Amino acid sequence: MKKLGKKELEIVVGEVSREICKVKKEKLIEKFESSEEGKKVKEYDWFGDMYFKFVVDKDTDIYEIDRAVETYRDAGIHCDVYLMPVGGTDQLYFNNYKSVAEMALKRGWRYSPRLQVDIWRNAWGT
């Protein structure tokens, strides 16, 4: 048996680690799909046109959104994802709408503006 060098050993360990993670992930997905929560999530797939829309307040929100989207996709639910900037005030909206659009673009998702803020500055009744 040939003795492996450090680089070769790192490659083998990396491949084994990836396989272990893959098997663990598959088992977690199977466990989720057979759970009551997983069955409820799967039911939504029958509704056809679905999308997820997330309101983003700050840049760090994207990590939670990424996890949520990945969880649903791992469960077999694939639909469009929209990101919308928070819009409690026009100042909040205008402070982060560009970064939210860039986050959506980077991930191949869609950006949803708040037209009432763009047009009427979030005036009462809009």
**Model confidence over 44-93: pLDDT tens digits?**
666 667 899 999 998 899 999 999 999 988 888 888 999 999 987 888 88
Q: Name which of 93, 88, 89, 85 is nearest 111 in CA terms.
A: 85
Give me the amino acid identity at 96. Answer: N
What CA–CA distance (Å, rounded) separates 126 from 116?
6
Where residue 12 falls (left for φ over 0; alpha for ψ -120 to 50; beta otherwise) is alpha
Instruction: Give the other-Cβ count within 10 Å of 54's Cβ.
Output: 19
The pTM of this model reads: 0.61
Model pLDDT, residue 85 = 94
Residue 5 backbone phi and psi in degrees, to 5 = -80, 175
Residue 22, pLDDT > 80, answer no
**Which 8-state DSSP code applies to residue 121?**
T
pLDDT value for 61? 93
3-18: per-residue pLDDT in tens? 767 666 566 556 766 7
Q: Is 81 exposed, middle or buried (0-12, 13-18, 19+ CB in 10 A)?
A: buried
Domain segments of the chain as ranges: 1-34, 48-120
